[in-house]
Amino acid sequence: MILLDLINLNKIRKAVLLLICTAVAFWLQFSVFSRIHLPGGGGVKPFFIPALVIAIGLWSGGVWGGMFGLGIGIYCDMNLTGSTVTFLLLLSVLGFFAGVLADYLINRRFVAYMLLSAAGLAVAALVQTVPLWIFRGASPADLLPVALWQVLWSLPFAVPCYFAVRAVARSDSGDG
């Protein structure tokens, strides 16, 4: 009986619901949206997973955002070609700092989330272009418009992430 007192069922419920949101996002990202190209955008595909991690950090705190960012980053690194530990590090940092910013500096409103998501998506797009620039000799003048199109194409898909994670956080009964 003492062991059952140590288990916080609200946190387990919250983690399961966030894992379900993450699984749906992975399915959409890697099965559905990976086949959708931006017309006239040079084959740019939306990549909204950083926005999901930012939403988790924003609504659940820095520790939850960092830990979910770590797990999601490992999965992204396994599923995206040419990525070794890029997303593991990036998504962990994005989730943690989104939570810290939400706790101490910004509010959790939609506009603040969209600005934070735009910044996070821009950082993710730039991080994806660095290996092409350094190791493949691609021109930054050619890479930056593609990164910008990826950010703009990914932003609409950040909207459902915000509302899904907010619903999970609000259904939680105040465990912090």
Whole-structure pTM value: 0.91
Cβ–Cβ < 8 Å for 99, 58: yes
pLDDT in tens, 33-43: 888 877 766 77
Cα separation of 48 and 46, whole Å?
6
pLDDT in tens, 52-99: 999 999 999 999 999 999 999 999 999 887 667 889 999 999 999 999
Q: Where are the domains of the chain?
A: 46-171
Closest-CA residue to 51 (of 9, 101, 114, 138): 114
pLDDT in tens, 126-157: 998 888 888 888 888 888 998 999 999 999 99
Cα separation of 50 and 25, whole Å?
11
Cα separation of 99 and 106, whole Å?
10
